[in-house]
Structure 1
Amino acid sequence: MDLELSVREKELAAKGRDFCDQVLVPLELIADEHGEVPMERRAAIRQAVRDWGLAGINHSKENGGLGLTMVEQTVIEEQLGRVTNGLWSCVWRPPVSLKFGTAAQKRDYLQPSCHGERRGCFAITEPNAGSDPRQVETTAVRKGDRWLLNGEKWFVTSYNASDFIIVHAHVDNDPNKPTLFLVDKPAKGMTHLRSPKFMHNFAFDHAELRFENVEVPADRMLGDVGQGLELTKDWFVEARLQIASHALGAAIRAAEIANDYATNRVQFGKPIRDFQAIEFMLADMAVEIFAAKSMLYRVAWEIDRKIDRKLIHGRASALKLFCSEMAGRVIDKALQILGGRGYMRESPLERLYRDIRVDRIWEGTSEIQRLVVAGQIRKRGFDVYSGWE
């Protein structure tokens, strides 16, 4: 087993870090002050993503992307995770479900999304449906050559940066027929209710939408009737790896800041890292990061080896669970080491502290991840997590 990154992987990691430091980090305080990236800056950021060669990192060259392996994507995403305010979202990853579209859908949605000419957001969560997608109340009813969508969606991330929405609905109000639909903005009958404020500030918004007899042409159904949940699961696996990567990057940045501060901050005549209380916190942070990084790259490597899809789903849940909770612990310790300076809004640690909390909630709460892990053990045995395949 070769655990060394290739020359290309190291180059991609360096590119991700340089892009983060040179393009995204200077936007942190701006995004935090405004609550999101100001509209007048967005076009320049999109062009920067293209110029740096980071457009469409999660899709094949055939579909307009870069054709990167999962390990190659992960080395980039880890570095992007160092930035605060969700600014990593500026480096777009078109929804993975689009690769299952028709040739026309790939031409009209996926390829221009990879190039940054279009952008899609995903609408699945509802007032009464979060962890349990079978509770979705948004319906799709066929009427001639069109579908009529009715329902309400919450937490539609990056709505105001997108020009189309992938809507998860139940055909004929049947929870056994979850189906995805491509809805272009603006759409008659679709209302943007509001974009509420959250604990963190984010590059773009998280909208609430209402659909009232929104007409969708039949050729805008993505996949087949009843296939929506399966396509969503593929998206969840990718999203959970992305969250794990970002959590790791955030934890590393926090640890680096704390380590530097502990080295240079002198109290009682010596650097505070010389006090065992601080030294042990740094040691615990390092061990947690080491474990998370090992876990992350193993799962990415296994995806590239195309091991069993259900096994990957189970391990991605374990990965997201561990990395999101690990980052919370590491960043909390880092902020404690900096004391009052870490608690100031101008400190990256304060922003990271707010940012990282949502990683234990979105794309499946920690509790849902534990259910997935427990289910895998029940069905397949403990070797799912203690073995190799």
Structure 2
Amino acid sequence: MPFDFQPSDEQRMLVETTRAFIEKELYPLERQIDKLGHVPPEIGKELKEKAKAVGLYAANMPEEVGGGGLDVMSQMLFERELGKVNWALQKFVGRPSYILMACKGEQIEKYLLPTVRGDKSEVFALTEPGAGSDAMSITTRAEQDGDDYILNGGKHFITGVGEPDFAIVFTVTGMDETKRGPRKRITAFLVDRGTPGFTIRRGPRCVSYRAYDNWELFFDNVRLNKRQILGEEGKGFAVASEWLLGGRVFIAANCCGKAERAMELALDWAATRKQFGQTIGKFQGVSFKLADMKTEIAAADALTAYVCWKLQNGTMTDGDAGMAKLFATEMLGRVTDQAIQIFGGMGLMEELPLEMMWRDARVERIWEGTSEIQRHIISREMLRAKEQ
């Protein structure tokens, strides 16, 4: 099937609605929340209600659970627009973790549906001090005790907005023998805030997305019932894989949007700022930078759209997702840096959003799998294909 994507009228309307919402409701708050280092609860609540009113909240979730039911290509366009604004604000245009679709039985009413409605919020708790890129090195353990599990350990760099109502926690629940030797059996649990032994604490402040909360989670003999297992025991990574891979592609779309905003700011400046009797855009040193930005953004957009199309058609590989995430995040770093170069010293002043976008862009090459991990995934896939 050849790849040929042209947005439908409905998708164009989605983009226009999202863009209008961002420009009216989110851009005016960016500098305020960046300086505060958090989003005040009353502002967050108001934004959530406004997002619901225009039909943007939980747009990524299926219609049968109360979501917007966006297909992959529509969500790509949605994420691209949202990427233009700070993560701490765009998160209030809620996109619950798709992994919650693995909820079953009483979990649906307790976790899935309230999260889709915006009544509850969750965090995805995988990373640990000794297990970042190497997710299989997690040490947080849940030891079985009859029908219960006793959870001990900790997580860090767990991001979200506001203190979460529950965490999706990945733990070790045993070992499996494989052809390559013993392998940890990973299980995901739904852990409620307020459970005895479960402590949530703010982590260090990050220079990127300063107002996007960073949490540390601690578990001291936390007793959980087997009914709190998300999916099946020992299948934690299985329920997470689709969400993680899709997440990388949508981060790529997010970065394309942010890069476009940076380019447009630089373009406006180059077309109006005068030096030596003419606008600086007429100088080759500036105009070539603009040309490179436009080209790189177009290339990242094309790659991201192609990989999303493959995801929608069930043919996307780990390497495909890795390529989109790798190229788009590194492109964003180059574009924001060149935009500041065009502005000169003014680009680093707080009166403009560029210095904030420049700082924010840096973490994109780290979270959801570093650039080095993406290169490893891509090359491994290439080499394995040759071995077959």
Per the normalisation by structure 1, the TM-score is 0.94
Match of 1:317 among 303, 317, 322: 322
1:226 paired residue number? 234
Residues 361-372 of structure 1: pairs in structure 2 closer than 5 A: 361-372=366-377
Deviations 1:335-375 (A, max 9, x none): 11011111012211101000010000001000000000001
Match of 2:129 among 122, 127, 131: 127
- Give 1:42 deviation, angstroms: 1.5
- Give 1:159 deviation, angstroms: 6.3
CA distance, structure 2, for counterparts of residue 84 and residue 183 of structure 1: 28
1:205 paired residue number? 213
1:73 paired residue number? 75
2:286 paired residue number? 278
Residues 14-33 of structure 1: pairs in structure 2 closer than 5 A: 14-33=16-35
- Give 1:381 deviation, angstroms: 5.1
Deviations 1:256-292 (A, max 9, x none): 0000000000110111000000010000000000000
Residues 1-389 of structure 1: pairs in structure 2 closer than 5 A: 1-84=3-86, 86-158=88-160, 160-172=162-174, 175-307=183-315, 311-380=316-385
Deviations 1:145-201 (A, max 9, x none): 221110010011116342010000000477521010000111210122432101123
CA distance, structure 1, for counterparts of residue 379 and residue 18 of structure 2: 35
CA distance, structure 2, for counterparts of residue 35 and residue 223 of structure 1: 35
Deviations 1:29-54 (A, max 9, x none): 11111012112212111101101101
- Give 1:85 deviation, angstroms: 5.2
CA distance, structure 1, for counterparts of residue 297 and residue 161 of structure 2: 33
2:179 paired residue number? none
Q: How many residues align?
A: 379
CA distance, structure 1, for counterparts of residue 65 and residue 96 of structure 2: 11
CA distance, structure 1, for counterparts of residue 253 and residue 88 of structure 2: 13
Task: Name the SS of the counterpart of 1:212 in structure 2.
Answer: strand
Q: Would you say the 8 A contact 2:200–2:217 is kept in 1?
A: yes
- Give 1:241 deviation, angstroms: 1.8
Per the normalisation by structure 2, the TM-score is 0.94
Q: Would you say the 8 A contact 2:190–2:229 is kept in 1?
A: yes
CA distance, structure 1, for counterparts of residue 226 and residue 384 of structure 2: 38
Deviates more, 1:221-230 or 1:154-163: 154-163
Q: Which runs of 5+ in 2 are unaligned?
A: 177-182
| Counterpart residue identity of residue 97, structure 2 | P
| Counterpart residue identity of residue 35, structure 1 | G
1:385 paired residue number? none
Deviates more, 1:133-142 or 1:151-160: 151-160
- Give 1:120 deviation, angstroms: 0.8
Deviates more, 1:217-226 or 1:277-286: 217-226
- Give 1:72 deviation, angstroms: 0.7
Q: Would you say the 8 A contact 2:174–2:184 is kept in 1?
A: no
Task: Name the SS of the counterpart of 1:142 in structure 2.
Answer: strand
CA distance, structure 1, for counterparts of residue 173 and residue 162 of structure 2: 27
Deviates more, 1:46-55 or 1:167-176: 167-176
CA distance, structure 1, for counterparts of residue 201 and residue 45 of structure 2: 25
Q: Would you say the 8 A contact 1:71–1:297 is kept in 2?
A: yes
Q: Would you say the 8 A contact 1:169–1:180 is kept in 2?
A: yes
Q: Would you say the 8 A contact 2:31–2:353 is kept in 1?
A: no
CA distance, structure 1, for counterparts of residue 248 and residue 159 of structure 2: 15
Q: Which runs of 5+ in 1 are unaligned?
A: 383-389
Task: Name the SS of the counterpart of 2:329 in structure 1.
Answer: helix
What CA RMSD, in Å, does the superposition of the two structures yield over aligned residues? 1.6
Task: Name the SS of the counterpart of 2:152 in structure 1.
Answer: strand
- Give 1:144 deviation, angstroms: 2.1
CA distance, structure 2, for counterparts of residue 377 and residue 86 of structure 1: 36
Deviates more, 1:240-249 or 1:229-238: 229-238
- Give 1:100 deviation, angstroms: 1.6
Q: Would you say the 8 A contact 2:87–2:212 is kept in 1?
A: no
| Counterpart residue identity of residue 247, structure 2 | A
CA distance, structure 1, for counterparts of residue 109 and residue 331 of structure 2: 40
| Counterpart residue identity of residue 295, structure 1 | L
Deviates more, 1:343-352 or 1:103-112: 103-112
CA distance, structure 1, for counterparts of residue 126 and residue 381 of structure 2: 24
CA distance, structure 1, for counterparts of residue 378 and residue 25 of structure 2: 38
Deviates more, 1:1-10 or 1:136-145: 1-10
Change (3 A) 1:50 1:159: closer
- Give 1:63 deviation, angstroms: 2.0
| Counterpart residue identity of residue 246, structure 1 | N
